[in-house]
Structure 1
């Protein structure tokens, strides 16, 4: 019903929302055209503006902007370091919140989705700093350059507005007169803006001026921009150099005798650049009188797509890569050059040869280092709109013409900034932004500007616009089908043909979250088998944990939800190959082994070793080889191994020495180890750094004794009123529980099938199904205890409340007089269909004085069925504390697989326990229970108990990578079935 016109109320509009200046689709205003970062390296002067700036934080975007006036008094403002992110500044007690709090979301936008608007509650940082232009700059211009500001900022100099910019991980330049004297720079930064919709990049939201700020002097004929074209013809061994420059100038490369004008080309014999042999030539660009000289780093290389492969300098390359976010625990994205170089040294030392810049262009210094050290780089645009997926991609910028200019702007700024880096071999348009017409617009522009590199964008699965077929987290069998060109056909015949003739890589795979990733070796085997599958990039390099302090002073690494976020994605931000402190994780050590550039296999019968060179370009001349022979974990002989010259992709055979050991040494498990190490120091590691290794059995007699299946049983059980004794073992007669082994107290020995779920099991894996089956809350009932045939038998029923299925477990104890042999027989009862288990073994508790473990088996690090390639078979010795892997989110860790024997002793070598496998077992030793580990959410939640807990496992399930991607492969899945296993316990 409508009201009559005569009684309609009069309406006064008090407020109507209109998009504010930071809610514009326009990417920039008042800025200079983008250009190569290397154009900044001329002989002209520069003034760094990094340092302490005056700072004020407001809760809303509409705070008064009078602060920009030249005479504004900001003496009562705080001081903030530039570069930095304001939310990461802590008070004197180490607590966050002084300038707001960090927040983590993976996909979800942390504000209502209403393009282009953002909330009124919009943290806004105002900055002021004074600078002085010297007299020597008079007559030229000055360029004010910001390398990175999140997310929208406006700039004033001496109260005059210069313009605004977006594109947080991209540079912005403003041109100002080079007027000598003192000046004031004022900057306003909004945390949220329309541009935030383009920057949903699975990371902490960290507003502020987080990269360098500088003032650059530009003389009259200064280099505006230049483009180095340096190709290589592998058929002739010659390179062609041409340098385009504005204004025109002259190029010299003294080492090559080059002396040409810009715009001219020259072809001559050169050594090519590759990630394995990063040969750079020093050149000089000179723009003449009143101009400047600019140093050049020139790497000759050509990238093409041919035979459904990415080829560099005529050869197919295999990317053994990693995704890299920029992160330091205390500095956020304000990563120092020293940290960048340390990361690259770690990558190279662990055989990584490629980096995908996820999901934005990195600090330009990182690419300089990639050129120098040698890394293939996929340079990616500052663009991700993943949060629109939760809105069914409505209003997604990828297909919205209102955003075309902004997306083109971001692509142009990336390409122009980074075009002179030989390390950059692929342009990537962005990440997880769906599909649409703006992808085509960006791809078209890139081809028009730089046709020398192929274009990648993973969500273009039909290759309508890009050149590389790519996926994230595809299963092994799917990758293999693509390698065989048997992927499902596209409806469009032409697109299908194009895609089948395109190279393929996994831009993300093997989610390195917590314990894992599993299945790396199986992926690598596919990559090496099929030329079209050119490797991939593990997600990702580093755990993004932020240090946080408890009231008692203890620190731990915080993640999503630890800062009171309204919505968050927990520890999904901690998914790296290195921990926040950059200590390599077991996952990185496994990756190093899997992607090693030298394959080493041996045949003890023939006494030969086959050496396979898996480099794409380099020979093995930079490596030296050695061998060692060990028996029972002890090295008895060692020496150097003569290996002939082996070209890239080739193999050679070397002969092992003919060694005859005395009988006293030749009884035991013999192992040959062959190692490839650096023959001389490199930029990333010193001589002797291990690059690759291989092990294979020597031909010796296996040991005999209690640890075999033919143990003589000689000790008879002694039954008393309350106890049963067998050899060194003392048991309670009432329930058959082992209470002592010699003088060593033992308690709570029982079957265990539960483990604290790994991140890969909690996110997408089997943890929820395991809990639903009650595996985390099993009850143990003793059904029978009896003595028979010199053995003590204990039968138990292991089951969970609310379920009728059970594991009937029979423990059979026997002894030869000095040791105690335990045989465990497990029979599933009831309906176990569709149920898997994480482990199968026994756990027992020992006195807390035990502190040191020595074992013979793979090590020294942890390993699981699908992550144990990095373990070297040998004798290892670690403290129980050092056997723990301190994942940011506590979870199953620390297992040593395939252990032949282990000894657990006190700190000073005091007696304890020896365990022999029949023939082997997986060992875990820790100072807390599995339940303690399961309940913990941070490292500080784990408090040592007054006992040591040993898990002696018949089997573990693989860990897989189901937090993103596949779970364990079928061969690594553990299913309940009738099983027997044995170990031998001996007091020390």
Structure 2
């Protein structure tokens, strides 16, 4: 196919100027149509211009002339890129990641001369059935960061506002065939100063490009007002339209003129029951389908209420991301996000930090999610200079800010899922934000306005914070936070909390208990939904610094509840459990009686009629009885005590488990999908016992004790039967630090990972003090301590045997002035990799768990491969522990713990894991390293938020724990 654009008769305002002044102009642009409501379809013709475009990359904004936009230009030698797409992900240049640093000098509105500029060219024909009359509109849904557009040689204009729609009137320029659409895109512009949003900087035409026919009398802008009166059960519908027409809703019998109000009985819309009514807006020239949800949002009595009821937001912050295409998302990827959220009990999304692709909001309407729609605004980089020259406090920039606010509100105003408008994120304070808030309040008084940076709540209707500690959140809930009177009377949201970077976040359940204890605390939004890793053939997923960036923030871009490929992380599984909408609490009588279970409906609106309940009894982790559990159809907020059947009489540790599952298929999950569960003990655990009957027998450089042999000099365990053991089975106090252990550079010196390394715990030395073979025991005395310090851990390993089994009792006594907690406390040893295929255990599972991340850990019998035991965080770190393990079978060994323990098994050492920076750095060896931990330090979320709560600290103190080892029978 030839890419030489044919000549046309168009002679108006052809591309002749090479001026680039518009790039650094603080104005939002020129030539675009006023913003308006976006709708997915109508009976008017449209033509998608997505697909392959010709592409040329220049190093500066003025490196090439503009003749490429003129008809007849030969682009046959240019490259090709996909639109939507980012050119840096298609082999042209490289992506850049920064959290808040601008990757160019801060000199607003100036940008570097080195300004990658991509010229895009598309030649298209109109369909044969394209109407000859009427007008046409060319719509761009998203271009980063500044674009100049030509059609058939005529310059249409320029625009900024990367994640916002822009339209041009083009009907007078169209030809039946050979239309030449030219778009010049600059990576850097004045608009870049408003888009410092903690994400990859990715230039390109990354959302849809569409040509829309506009017949005479077509729909222009319209505003669907659909309120709900919870007292009468009636909804009031009014559709304001720039062009007169009629609104019909057949199911409701509505047939009314635009601008007229109609009140009828309706079922309301909520995120839990997303009831939508199909309607049509018809003008003389166009019919537009409507999906109408009746609901009323108000801040009353100091609370955010929807349809008269307070709501509890169980939310996530969502950047748009795909590991291959960046922010160019297809419909299936967006649908996958929504389905994953619904299946994990998420009920709300903050669209950090820009309006999403409009199709995502259609999905939120249909499946049911509360949405905080956030403006395309963040100027975080100005914090480095004390917010001096911040655009939001500079009147020259106010038109651009108002343009961004208007394009968000006008585009998205008809979505019932959007319940709160947000002015943006981390942009300081200033007159521009006040102007935005005033405009939004005037244009749409039916929704509250949010902005976290407004500490006095002068411009906002919600008090919002980021990463407040549990202690501070409780003070706020109790009304003890102080501040202006207006703020004290407003509802509170944690718009960001529980930083989900790497292993974590910890402390979710502790936050949720506070949300549920205090009405003012209306929930929060975990940061964030997805890791922004870029798929890489060697590294696994790349992050900041992997593309040679001058400035970058490393893997801080990988802080999501799902991995880049949308595999749920343990953090998302934990969050699902913490926020489950049905609370199931056992009231069982101990000693084997079934007792009762208390079922509480934690939904804000929905009853429990859509759920089925089932009970089961487990003995030593195996199900011994099960059946359905009749539960009343409790309304929102109601609770009931339900009798459980009598359990069978079986010896062993007994638990009862009750599950709530979907009773029928839904739009977002199949019948049987688990929504909530509860588990509680009925009988206690029998701890392993061993009566010593064998005595250590000295031999040639070895000591034999029952089935085991030891090094006579060091006391190191060598074999158990025919199973070889390496590594000496010695005390272990180090873990490969997590992102949350390491904390963030701007935080205080309480970052435990930093303190641990400063102390030298990662290079602790083991001193052998004595090997004593006497009586019925082999005793090995050691001292574990870091170099350069006087503190240490005096450790005694005492081995006994009954001839077939082996018992290890570890006694630990801290010495010196310990001022930091330990990362872990347990033992580790190695087994030949060839002997380890699968691992079986009775304890918590199926996934990983740590002291403050184990709500989702269900007691049972589990089995997994070593690969399944490993959690593949984008940056390798401590992972994979299974909590509350009673026994494990691995490599032919059966190990029972007294008390329960944390189990970790992996194909590399902790030191190798600690040194790795990408998944590809982890190469399996010949040894499987097994960790049996008496304790683990908590996780927290100090990669950006607070560390673990004090009760999850692993302080050194006199400790004793035991394991019984035997061959698997």
TM-score of the superposed pair, with normalisation by structure 2: 0.95
Q: Corresponding residue for 1:579?
A: 563
Q: Corresponding residue for 1:797?
A: 783
Task: Give yes or no for contact 1:23–1:118 (8 Å, CA) kept in 2.
Answer: yes
Pair 1:80-2:91 in alignment: no
Task: Give yes or no for contact 1:102–1:205 (8 Å, CA) kept in 2.
Answer: yes
Structure 1 residue 73 displacement after superposition: 1.4
Task: Give yes or no for contact 1:728–1:819 (8 Å, CA) kept in 2.
Answer: yes
Structure 1 residue 54 displacement after superposition: 1.1
Pair 1:895-2:889 in alignment: no
1: CA distance, partners of 2:938 / 2:686? 29
Alignment of 1:16-95 (within 5 A): 20-38=21-39, 41-63=41-63, 64-89=65-90
Q: Corresponding residue for 1:937?
A: 917
Q: Corresponding residue for 1:227?
A: 223
CA deviations over 1:559-602 (Å, ceiling 9, x no partner): 00000000100000000000011110000000000000000011
Alignment of 1:602-681 (within 5 A): 602-605=586-589, 607-661=595-649, 666-681=650-665
Secondary structure at the counterpart of residue 761 of structure 2: coil
Secondary structure at the counterpart of residue 133 of structure 1: coil
Q: Corresponding residue for 1:983?
A: 963
2: CA distance, partners of 1:88 / 1:19? 25
2: CA distance, partners of 1:940 / 1:862? 21
Q: Corresponding residue for 1:559?
A: 543
Pair 1:853-2:848 in alignment: no
Alignment of 1:349-748 (within 5 A): 349-487=343-481, 489-490=482-483, 496-550=484-538, 556-605=540-589, 607-661=595-649, 666-699=650-683, 702-703=685-686, 707-708=688-689, 711-748=690-727
Secondary structure at the counterpart of residue 481 of structure 1: helix
Structure 1 residue 883 displacement after superposition: 0.3
Q: Corresponding residue for 2:824?
A: 839
Task: Give yes or no for contact 1:19–1:117 (8 Å, CA) kept in 2.
Answer: no
2:180 to 179, 184, 192: 184
1: CA distance, partners of 2:922 / 2:840? 24
CA deviations over 1:293-319 (Å, ceiling 9, x no partner): 111100000000012110000000000
Structure 1 residue 136 displacement after superposition: 4.2
2: CA distance, partners of 1:136 / 1:697? 70
Q: Corresponding residue for 1:104?
A: 97
Task: Give yes or no for contact 2:457–2:463 (8 Å, CA) kept in 1.
Answer: yes
Structure 1 residue 734 displacement after superposition: 1.0
Task: Give yes or no for contact 2:46–2:212 (8 Å, CA) kept in 1.
Answer: yes
Structure 1 residue 336 displacement after superposition: 0.5
Task: Give yes or no for contact 1:631–1:671 (8 Å, CA) kept in 2.
Answer: yes
Task: Give yes or no for contact 2:22–2:29 (8 Å, CA) kept in 1.
Answer: no
In structure 2, the gaps of 5 or more residues are 1-18, 745-750
Structure 1 residue 721 displacement after superposition: 4.6
CA deviations over 1:886-941 (Å, ceiling 9, x no partner): 00000000111110011013xxxxxx101101121111111111001000001111
Secondary structure at the counterpart of residue 32 of structure 1: coil
Q: Corresponding residue for 1:755?
A: 735
Task: Give yes or no for contact 2:20–2:62 (8 Å, CA) kept in 1.
Answer: no
Task: Give yes or no for contact 1:667–1:703 (8 Å, CA) kept in 2.
Answer: no
Secondary structure at the counterpart of residue 762 of structure 2: coil
Task: Give yes or no for contact 1:102–1:206 (8 Å, CA) kept in 2.
Answer: yes
Structure 1 residue 702 displacement after superposition: 4.0
Task: Give yes or no for contact 2:353–2:375 (8 Å, CA) kept in 1.
Answer: yes
CA deviations over 1:328-361 (Å, ceiling 9, x no partner): 0111000011100011001000000000000000
Structure 1 residue 327 displacement after superposition: 0.5
Structure 1 residue 987 displacement after superposition: 2.1
2: CA distance, partners of 1:180 / 1:267? 47
Q: Corresponding residue for 2:245?
A: 249
Q: Corresponding residue for 1:966?
A: 946
Secondary structure at the counterpart of residue 415 of structure 1: helix
Structure 1 residue 698 displacement after superposition: 1.9
2: CA distance, partners of 1:180 / 1:245? 31
Instruction: Give the length in aligned residue pairs.
Output: 934
Structure 1 residue 53 displacement after superposition: 1.0
Structure 1 residue 180 displacement after superposition: 4.2
Structure 1 residue 137 displacement after superposition: 2.5
Q: Quick one: structure 1 residues 421 and 138, their matched pair in 2 at CA, closer, same or farther if it must change by over 3 Å? A: same
Secondary structure at the counterpart of residue 137 of structure 1: coil
In structure 1, the gaps of 5 or more residues are 1-17, 90-97, 491-495, 906-911
> Mean Cα displacement is larger for which, 155-164 or 728-737?
728-737
Task: Give yes or no for contact 2:316–2:349 (8 Å, CA) kept in 1.
Answer: yes
2: CA distance, partners of 1:946 / 1:346? 38
Q: Corresponding residue for 1:12?
A: none
Q: Corresponding residue for 2:858?
A: 872
Q: Corresponding residue for 2:4?
A: none
> Mean Cα displacement is larger for which, 624-633 or 739-748?
739-748
Task: Give yes or no for contact 2:696–2:774 (8 Å, CA) kept in 1.
Answer: no
Structure 1 residue 732 displacement after superposition: 1.4
Q: Corresponding residue for 1:144?
A: 138
Q: Corresponding residue for 1:5?
A: none
Structure 1 residue 763 displacement after superposition: 2.7
Secondary structure at the counterpart of residue 666 of structure 2: coil
2: CA distance, partners of 1:698 / 1:446? 57
Q: Corresponding residue for 2:319?
A: 325
CA deviations over 1:828-887 (Å, ceiling 9, x no partner): 12222x222110001011111212110000101010000011111000000112100000
Task: Give yes or no for contact 1:138–1:180 (8 Å, CA) kept in 2.
Answer: no
Q: Corresponding residue for 1:917?
A: 897
Task: Give yes or no for contact 2:612–2:663 (8 Å, CA) kept in 1.
Answer: yes
2: CA distance, partners of 1:252 / 1:23? 47
2: CA distance, partners of 1:861 / 1:23? 51
Structure 1 residue 743 displacement after superposition: 1.1
Secondary structure at the counterpart of residue 365 of structure 2: helix
